[in-house]
Structure 1
Amino acid sequence: MNSANSAAVVVGVDGSEPSLRAVRLAAAEAARRHRPLRVVHGFIWPLLHVPVSPAPDAPAGGGLRHQAEELVAAAVAEAEATVPGLTISGEIIDGEAAAVLVGESPTAALIVLGDRGLGGFTSLVVGSVAVQVAAYADCPVLVARGVEHPGEPVLVGLDGSPASRLAAEFAAETAVARDAPLLAVHAYRHPPSTRPGDMQPLVYDAEQLHHEEDQVLAESLTGLAERHPELRLTRRAVRGRAGAVLAEASRSAQLVVVGGQGRGQVSGLLLGSVSQSVLHHAHCPVAVVRAPR
């Protein structure tokens, strides 16, 4: 995440209701983090060689470019109404939405977007733009979905991987900014293999396994309380599939945070199976934290 004081929270908009929900979430998050808010619209039509200005005989105020200006202005107004006094700017950038937002990410504190936008297939739980940005962005990505539950904890899923440690740090910062407790969850299923191709033992001590997995969780949280002394932290090791465990726990969370790629993921994947599962099935907003490329 860009640590410069000038780094903005960036929200992608397209005029849809999900993107307006993202604007409200982004404005609140920018205020909590003492950051400016930047409203961005990816304007794809010039890339498709579609005329964007009104026809010569058309009424004034027509054309695709003017429509884009209006939707950005509406999003800025929505943000101003959500957090009066917040520093807000808006910009139209020629390009496809996901590419534009990924292009913003190296200098952004956070990217926020809706779970689905205009033109999304109704059968998709989470739109392709949200998945692409979560997979490629160089800063944390917050997807506005489900329902926030004020007063409930910020939830973070950890597996001991470097990515999950980044997720823990982001989750702690977020919990402190929201004055919320942090619930750290580690899901496990079997004793871990020590080498590729190892067979899983048929008999093992369940209590000992739980203790060992709880230690994995504790190690992921090393130093967090010292860096954030005001943090109210609870940890929980749970047996089960990580995606399902986190989705169920998100029913009583205000936000769920996951690493972009965890332990045991195929190295070529930019977005791990657990983070994808949580993006599609969580009942509250989801933040995905990846290591910068």
Structure 2
Amino acid sequence: MTMDRDGPGAILVGIDGSTPSMRAAAYAVGMARRQHCRLIAVYVRSLPSSLLPLADTGGTATVTTIDAQDAVERELREAFQEYLPALGVEAELVIRTGDAFAELIAAAGEARADAVIVGRSAGLLHRIAGSLAVKLVRCGRWPVTVVP
């Protein structure tokens, strides 16, 4: 935060096209508009090398996953171009590839984000191993808002 303003200078929101992440994005847009600050939306694509094809599929699963990520990225870019100009928010969409936790931390650091907003994870595995939101909270570098 800067001394000449009340509130954050930049808010980072993690998005992946899921319903909770899109709710987080809507929340972040409203917060950025009210606080008169920048919004950085980050979509993290999985690493293709970490996408192991299923047995005897000839790589079809990997190609399908990459195609799905391409489709999500395309939809996010279209939404940014269509809706954000009317909302009066200075925003940018950042596309990164890698581990979501590591890439969100790196992006928040580079953007000098004052807050991080993410959607709630609904996966059973995340309840056992720890969700992205929990990892971000434990990191303790920024206030983290988890949107249901």
Normalising by structure 1, we get a TM-score of 0.38
Answer yes or no: is 1:103 the counterpart of 2:106.
yes
Answer yes or no: is 1:140 the counterpart of 2:139.
no
Unaligned runs of 5+ in 1: 146-293
Answer yes or no: is 1:89 the counterpart of 2:92.
yes
- Partner residue, 1:260: none
Report if the CA contact (8 A) 2:119-2:147 is conserved: yes
Report if the CA contact (8 A) 1:12-1:39 is conserved: yes
Deviations 1:219-266 (A, max 9, x none): xxxxxxxxxxxxxxxxxxxxxxxxxxxxxxxxxxxxxxxxxxxxxxxx
Report if the CA contact (8 A) 2:33-2:88 is conserved: no
Show the 5 A alignment for 1:110-259.
Answer: 110-116=115-121, 120-121=123-124, 124=127, 128-145=131-148
Q: Percent identity?
A: 28
- Partner residue, 2:2: 3
Report if the CA contact (8 A) 1:105-1:137 is conserved: no
CA distance in 1, matches of 2:147, 2:82: 15
The alpha carbon displacement at 1:39 in A equals 1.0
The alpha carbon displacement at 1:50 in A equals 6.2
Report if the CA contact (8 A) 2:44-2:98 is conserved: yes
What is the root-mean-square deviation in Å for CA atoms of aligned residues? 3.5
- Partner residue, 1:72: 76
The alpha carbon displacement at 1:63 in A equals 2.4
The alpha carbon displacement at 1:14 in A equals 1.0
- Mark the structure with the bigger radius of gyration: 1
The alpha carbon displacement at 1:31 in A equals 1.0
SS in 2 for 1:73: helix
- Partner residue, 2:57: none
CA distance in 2, matches of 1:14, 1:8: 20
Answer yes or no: is 1:13 the counterpart of 2:12.
no
Report if the CA contact (8 A) 1:27-1:37 is conserved: yes
**Which one of the candidate residues 25, 28, 38 is aligned to 2:27?**
25
> Match of 1:69, as an amino acid?
E
CA distance in 2, matches of 1:133, 1:78: 30
User: What number of residue pairs does the alignment pair up?
Assistant: 132
Higher share of residues assigned helix: 2
Task: Provide closer, same or farther for how the CA distance between residues 115 and 70 of structure 1 changes in structure 2, counting only shifts above 3 A.
Answer: same
SS in 2 for 1:28: helix
The alpha carbon displacement at 1:48 in A equals 1.2
Report if the CA contact (8 A) 1:47-1:94 is conserved: no
> RCO higher in 1 or 2 (8 Å CA, sep ≥ 6)?
2
Report if the CA contact (8 A) 2:13-2:118 is conserved: yes
SS in 1 for 2:114: strand
The alpha carbon displacement at 1:70 in A equals 2.0
The alpha carbon displacement at 1:137 in A equals 4.7
The alpha carbon displacement at 1:45 in A equals 2.6
The alpha carbon displacement at 1:66 in A equals 1.9
